[in-house]
Amino acid sequence: MTLPQETIRRKRDGAALKDAEIASFIAGLTDGSVTEGQAAAFAMAVFFRGLSLPERVALTQAMTGSGTVLAWDLPGPVLDKHSTGGIGDTVSLALAPMVAACGGYVPMISGRGLGHTGGTLDKLASIPGYDVAPGLERFQDVTRAVGCAIIGQTGDLAPADRRLYAIRDVTGTVESLDLITASILSKKLAAGLGGLVMDVKAGSGAFMPDLGAARALAESIVTVANGAGLPTRALITDMDAPLASAAGNAVEVAYAIDYLTGRQCEPRFHAVTLALAAEMLVLAGLCADRDEAARRLEQALASGRAAEVFARMVARLGGPADLLEGCERHLPQAPIVQEVRAEGVVRAVATREIGLAVIGLGGGRTRPQDGIDPAVGFTDLARPGDASGLLGIVHARDEAAAETAEAALRAAYGLGREQAGETERPAVLERVG
């Protein structure tokens, strides 16, 4: 056994860690012999010094092996999608039932909010009764019966990552390419997947604002995953503005329901969701090409099959059976709802600041043990080029929080007097793998 402090010191000084050193540290992280302070120091050392490809693989494998690794016996391919996170990134809630409606099985293990971005787990936790942490047997049963199940990371799957994930959130080490790669892939490998599609965000609301950095992360994940025997592709998508016009927890669940039921279909959200889901169907051999996959996914939406799968998943995991019909009745509502208006044309959005404003409202964490107010957030967020005068609608717990959030939202938008002629970047920027 290598002493944790020696592993930290060697990485701090730029040494390449041996597989045994990494395995020993992760074992200590799992059994509690590595302290929270040591885990934070290790994360910071990796953040500044980085890991080589062999170190990255060793870290991923050690974290994967820290708990149970699932094996599936299903009549269709086992698939998943993962996003590096952004603002209004509600894609998972819509994509999983869409892919399931087309013959895939999607056992999706999601995370809590990380840094300034929202977490799929926190969104689902806003649904009354929804069990975000069922046992593995129930997780497998729901996936088998419904076609998809979205839950949080259990204590059985990659428990070392679960501990390190929470520490990264509050120590300024979220953006580490090495730690992101190991965190994502350890969970996915432990879930026993047959295929994975990554959504790597680039832009002002992403952990990797620069396109080059996003490309490096996408290539890292694809390389390590394929090397570990998990067929993986990645799309780099735009996060220079919120993807959905809602940011928060319950408000994003409501947005996803509106999308699945056909009440709302914003073009950029639809484009990203469709592109990622199509990659999954092609990767699994369920469709010959992305055009065929897109047609099948559109049919799953139009027919109501995808919405039905979502409703069944929610009900099987303890949520209300009539959530689609009684969304406003079941989801928590903020007592203060007020519009934020400003004259001019939206030229740019400091998207990360909107995520931080959600945290300020109580919709995110500043410490791992913090609770979350599921009702707060923003809806009707403006996009570049909008000239309606409405920047967004604040959902807050009290007047003071609403005023602070309004000021933050105004500061996040750059306005001009007339259209500047520029167009937004494409929703999907690049494809890797």
CA distance between the termini of the chain: 38
Amino acid letter, 300: A
Of 7, 11, 64, 80, the catalytic one is: 80
Beta strands in 179-330 (DSSP E): 195-202, 232-238, 247-248
Residue 237, CA distances (Å) to 84, 276, 386, 424 in order:
10, 10, 21, 12
Q: What are phi and psi of 259, to 5 degrees?
A: -70, -45
Whether 188 is catalytic is yes
Whether 123 is catalytic is no
Whether 92 is catalytic is no
Nearest to 290 by CA among 223, 231, 235: 235
Of 116, 123, 163, 168, the catalytic one is: 168
Of 24, 60, 83, 245, the catalytic one is: 83
Whether 81 is catalytic is yes
Nearest to 339 by CA among 423, 405, 384: 405
Of 116, 123, 162, 188, the catalytic one is: 188
- Which residue do the tokens 């400091």 mark? 350
What is the C-alpha to C-alpha distance for residues 256 and 262, in angstroms, rounded to an integer? 10
Give the count of beta carbons closer than 10 Å to the beta carbon of residue 311. Answer: 23
Whether 120 is catalytic is yes
The number of angstroms, rounded, from the C-alpha of 245 to the middle of its chain's C-alpha atoms is 16
- Which residue do the tokens 């959530």 mark? 323
Whether 80 is catalytic is yes
Whether 183 is catalytic is yes
Of 11, 56, 163, 187, the catalytic one is: 187
How do the residues of the chain divide into helix, strand and coil, expressed in percent and rounded to 5?
Answer: 45, 15, 40
* SS3 state of residue 415: strand
Of 30, 92, 120, 176, the catalytic one is: 120
Of 11, 56, 82, 268, the catalytic one is: 82
Of 11, 56, 81, 296, the catalytic one is: 81
| DSSP string of 30-49, one letter each residue | HHT-S-HHHHHHHHHHHHHH
CB 184 within 8 A of CB 198: yes
Q: What are phi and psi of 394, to 5 degrees?
A: -90, 135
Q: Which residues have a catalytic role annotated?
A: 80-83, 120, 168, 183, 187-188
